[in-house]
Amino acid sequence: MNNDLVEQIMGEVMRKMDSEAASAPAQPAAPEAKSCAAKLPAACGLTEFVGTAIGHTIGLVIANVDSSLHEQMKIDKKYRSIGILGARTGAGPHIFAADEAVKATNSEIILIELPRDTEGGAGHGSLILFGAEDVSDARRAVEVALSEVERTFGDVYGNSAGHLEFQYTARASTALNKAFGAPLGQSFGITVGGPAAIGVLLADTAAKAATVDAVGYSSPGNGGTSFSNEVIFTFSGDSGAVRQAIVAAREVGKQVLKAMEPDEDLPSSTTPYI
Amino acid sequence: MNNDLVEQIMGEVMRKMDSEAASAPAQPAAPEAKSCAAKLPAACGLTEFVGTAIGHTIGLVIANVDSSLHEQMKIDKKYRSIGILGARTGAGPHIFAADEAVKATNSEIILIELPRDTEGGAGHGSLILFGAEDVSDARRAVEVALSEVERTFGDVYGNSAGHLEFQYTARASTALNKAFGAPLGQSFGITVGGPAAIGVLLADTAAKAATVDAVGYSSPGNGGTSFSNEVIFTFSGDSGAVRQAIVAAREVGKQVLKAMEPDEDLPSSTTPYI
Amino acid sequence: MNNDLVEQIMGEVMRKMDSEAASAPAQPAAPEAKSCAAKLPAACGLTEFVGTAIGHTIGLVIANVDSSLHEQMKIDKKYRSIGILGARTGAGPHIFAADEAVKATNSEIILIELPRDTEGGAGHGSLILFGAEDVSDARRAVEVALSEVERTFGDVYGNSAGHLEFQYTARASTALNKAFGAPLGQSFGITVGGPAAIGVLLADTAAKAATVDAVGYSSPGNGGTSFSNEVIFTFSGDSGAVRQAIVAAREVGKQVLKAMEPDEDLPSSTTPYI
């Protein structure tokens, strides 16, 4: 009887411990995967609030930017309204999402900045401003971007050693042009690896796997990564070639990052799309 | 009886688990609130040690800086003694505390630097050097600053998504002038939000809420934040207007940051003072 | 009997909780000490993979860098092969390890970059590239560096408030020259403290403790630390004097960092070597 009792109690204790573990914050070292706040469009009564998304992403809008602030921000006077897309974790996913947003709406990209962040991870957060003459256009741009972020996190993979990121578009627009110098209207892809050593290998693998045109290479010290522990390689070319380069780099990257933490999984942050 | 026993044991287990949780380190994502080391003026026998404060803050003093180091640091020769105020978490609280310290003592500000830090959070740490001809003055400046930090953390609020910070002084002195270009002797305030998207909204809210003069706007990429995921807005003006701008921004900021993590509290790091 | 039962169950529960605690990720705030992945030379089938080491360090090699990438990376054409040493945590340990690697192999240092990292800590990660004409030389350089990292982490000490680092070599080679301007062939040492306030005190202590020549002083804002919350002091001189300076600074640093978290240990990351 005592043993039954012990089992009964252990069962209760373990259930309690499991439920506490389940509600605990995810590990800081797998930043891409942890901040999965669902979109909560109605969680905030402010008219400026648009929504949230994975990666501690927030979308806001200002209908009529204060004129003294407008000046301090050095924004073109024609944009009375701005949409704001910001995140603690992820720059690539947000820039590719913003690219879809400017294609789909009557808005333009004012500014793309990459803070050093990821909540203890190796990479970036982001701050992206959309400009519009009408607030409804700015709001719509943020809404589109927030909904795209779920997809663009699909090829972001992380464990406690670092992260991998792959992005692809069949047709680059002005967000990708502004952030990475992507040729407008062309297929465009990026490989990102952190720690930066892995990013170097991803770049070489992508460059060799298909006939692509190298557009840029950002390393921690060359000005392109805000001192984040990443290497970003960007390239354009034939649509099939860009995808082929990414798929090859993704295969190699997973093996190497997995080798740094063999006992951990290396999950997609959402669902792979490339 | 078995049930009584089960309850008795569960009670003990839960007490044990709670006490372990209480002694566990705070969540890394609420950086402003976690590093609450009490001041321990007697914890270290070194004459250079002054004390510690919230935010993993430390105060040190060097009576007579080595001449070769003096040269490397590019410090004015007249400051034989330096006071050192540094922290892992928080720049605003320390700069406003240092401002009180230079008002209250015979010391000057040599240097204010904002490392990218907050122990995985979105913001800064700080390194502030006071210069004095006499070591007792340098020590006194650090002591005053350490004691002020408890107050200046009062309007710092954090959850796992980010943080908000508000600071106000009725009369800006040389620390605020050096760090932010505050007009000497005037009322001066700042709003800070991380992720940076929130900081943009705080800036706009403050600018609209009262007649204040915008002094500066720092974003992750414009050189003012050491690539931290923050936007800092600074302004001066009539004392009542500066406070009014801050109170309005604080109200909006809490709603937005709360919307990113609806299930978490958003406590003051100490006690609000504005 | 009930009490026996309670004790029996509490014993089981505590064993279970302890084993879970033991397998939990190390605290993010003691970055230098946590990432103790053993070297796993056979964990990855890729020919590019060389191995891993403490600090989330990875070693890779590329036999024949893609020509378009070669151009983007701005690498001298004569280096067909590159060795890659990267880490999430630690720059000093890796630069001193790389210095031994270039002494021991037919390779050269192409690039040393210090990302802002340490997984939520106050310091750096690293990205170091070795160049060679032959891939076997590049691989050998990475192997030597990976094996040296275990030693060079010996005088890295961390707790949740920050970290201390001390490095020494009897004869500086090209890696130390490139990274820190160390005079070739001379004894050379560094002191590092984070938060930066502690690093200032270490610098002063080292400079006063022995007759050494100051080589450099890097602070969060002067361009030398990628905005990390560290001060790095570098010096050369007579071998005994360099060691003496380090030993004195180490003694002081441990007392001060310990004073910030009196209840925590301040262990060496591996085994002290100075």
Instruction: Say which of A48, A52, A129 has its CB closest to residue B260.
Output: A52
Size of interface B-C (CB pairs under 8 A): 167
Chain A residue with Cα closest to C226: A227
Residue A125 pLDDT grade (very low, low, confident, very high; cuts 50, 70, 90): very high
Three-state secondary-structure class, residue A227: coil
Residue A124 pLDDT grade (very low, low, confident, very high; cuts 50, 70, 90): very high
Q: What is the pLDDT of residue A44?
A: 80
Q: Is residue A267 part of a domain?
A: no
Q: Is residue B82 part of a domain?
A: yes
Separation CA B58–CA B51 (nearest Å): 6
Q: Is residue A178 part of a domain?
A: yes
Q: Give the pLDDT mean for B37-63.
A: 82
pLDDT digits (tens, 9 = 90+) for C210-261: 999 999 999 999 999 999 999 999 999 999 999 999 999 999 999 999 999 9
Q: Give the pLDDT mean for B95-118.
A: 97
What are residue A232's phi and psi, to 5 degrees?
-115, 125
Three-state secondary-structure class, residue B207: helix
pLDDT at C42 over 90: no
Q: Is residue B4 part of a domain?
A: no
Is the pLDDT higher at B38 or at A5?
A: A5
Q: Is residue A23 part of a domain?
A: no
CB contacts of B2 in chain A (<8 Å) are 5, 8
CB atoms within 10 A of CB B173: 21
CB contacts of A9 in chain C (<8 Å) are 9
Separation CA A96–CA A150 (nearest Å): 11
Separation CA C62–CA C139 (nearest Å): 9
CB contacts of B252 in chain A (<8 Å) are 46, 48
Q: Do B9 and C14 touch (CB under 8 A)?
A: no
Residue B20 pLDDT grade (very low, low, confident, very high; cuts 50, 70, 90): very low
pLDDT digits (tens, 9 = 90+) for C173-208: 999 999 999 999 999 999 999 999 999 999 999 999
CB contacts of B85 in chain C (<8 Å) are 197
pLDDT digits (tens, 9 = 90+) for A12-65: 554 544 444 333 333 333 333 333 334 444 468 899 999 999 999 999 999 999
* Residue position matching structure tokens 């803050």: B57
Cβ atoms of A160 and A86 within 8 Å: the answer is: no
CB atoms within 10 A of CB B252: 23
pLDDT at C20 over 50: no
Q: What is the pLDDT of residue A77?
A: 87
Q: What is the pLDDT of residue C45?
A: 84
Q: Do A204 and C56 touch (CB under 8 A)?
A: no
Cβ atoms of C149 and C182 within 8 Å: the answer is: no
CB contacts of A119 in chain C (<8 Å) are 120
Question: If you average pLDDT over every residue of chain A, what do you get?
Answer: 88
Question: If you average pLDDT over every residue of chain B, what do you get?
Answer: 88
Instruction: Say which of C28, C35, C60 has its CB closest to residue A197.
Output: C60
Q: Is residue B23 part of a domain?
A: no
Amino acid (one-letter) located at A61: V
Q: Nearest CA of chain C to the CA of B131: how many Å?
A: 14
CB contacts of B68 in chain C (<8 Å) are 207, 213-214
Instruction: Say which of C59, C72, C115 has its CB closest to residue A217.
Output: C72
Which residues have CB under 8 Å from B83's CB, separation 6+? B50, B59, B60, B61, B107, B129, B130, B131, B132, B138, B139, B141, B142, B145
Domain count, chain A: 1
Q: Do A200 and C227 touch (CB under 8 A)?
A: no
Q: Is residue C240 part of a domain?
A: yes
Q: Where are the alpha helices (DSSP H) in B80-134?
A: 92-104
* Residue C28 Cα to chain centre, angstroms: 16
Q: What is the pLDDT of residue C77?
A: 87
Q: Do C226 and A214 touch (CB under 8 A)?
A: no
CB atoms within 10 A of CB C22: 7
Is the pLDDT higher at B40 or at A191?
A: A191
pLDDT digits (tens, 9 = 90+) for A257-273: 999 999 999 999 999 99
Q: What is the pLDDT of residue C41?
A: 43
Cα separations in angstroms, C235 against A104, A196, C96, C212, C246: 58, 29, 14, 6, 10
Q: Is the peptide bond before A195 cis (omega within 30 degrees of 0)?
A: yes
Which residues have CB under 8 Å from B202's CB, separation 6+? B164, B191, B192, B193, B231, B233, B249, B252, B253
Which residues span the domain enclosing C205?
31-260
Q: Give the pLDDT mean for B47-74.
A: 95
Q: Which chains touch C (3 or more CB pairs under 8 A)?
A: A, B
* Residue position matching structure tokens 């953390």: B153
Q: Do A17 and B14 touch (CB under 8 A)?
A: no
Q: Do C37 and A260 touch (CB under 8 A)?
A: yes
Chain B residue with Cα closest to C211: B68
Instruction: Say which of B28, B56, B66 has its CB closest to residue C195.
Output: B56
DSSP B131-192: EESSHHHHHHHHHHHHHHHHHHTTTEEEETTEEEEEEEESS--HHHHHHH-PPTTSEEEEEE
Q: What is the pLDDT of residue A28?
A: 34
pLDDT at C83 over 80: yes
Cβ atoms of B165 and B32 within 8 Å: the answer is: yes
Question: Which of A237-251, B14-28, C138-152, C153-167 shows the lowest per-residue confidence on average (mean pLDDT)?
Answer: B14-28
Q: Is the peptide bond before A31 cis (omega within 30 degrees of 0)?
A: no
Q: In this structure, what DSSP letter does residue A124 have?
A: B
Q: Do B60 and C216 touch (CB under 8 A)?
A: no
Q: Do B161 and A37 touch (CB under 8 A)?
A: yes
The percentage of residues in chain C with a pLDDT greater than 70, rounded to a whole number, is: 84
Is the pLDDT higher at B79 or at A4?
A: B79
Three-state secondary-structure class, residue B216: strand
Token representation of residue C2: 């009930």
Is the pLDDT higher at C66 or at A9?
A: C66
CB contacts of B161 in chain A (<8 Å) are 35, 37, 56, 58, 88
Q: Nearest CA of chain B to the CA of C221: how many Å?
A: 5
Size of interface A-B (CB pairs under 8 A): 168
Separation CA A198–CA C183 (nearest Å): 31
Cβ atoms of B239 and B212 within 8 Å: the answer is: no
Q: Nearest CA of chain B to the CA of A32: how many Å?
A: 13
Q: Do A221 and C45 touch (CB under 8 A)?
A: no
Separation CA B179–CA C255 (nearest Å): 31
Instruction: Say which of B9, B69, B226 has its CB closest to residue C203.
Output: B69
Q: Which chains touch A (3 or more CB pairs under 8 A)?
A: B, C
CB contacts of B9 in chain A (<8 Å) are 9
Q: Is residue B97 part of a domain?
A: yes
Question: Which of A169-173, B74-78, B177-181 shows the lowest per-residue confidence on average (mean pLDDT)?
Answer: B74-78
The complex's ipTM works out to 0.83
pLDDT at B170 over 60: yes
pLDDT digits (tens, 9 = 90+) for C105-130: 999 999 999 999 999 999 999 999 99
Separation CA A191–CA A167 (nearest Å): 7
Residue C104 maps to which CATH number?
A: 3.30.70.1710
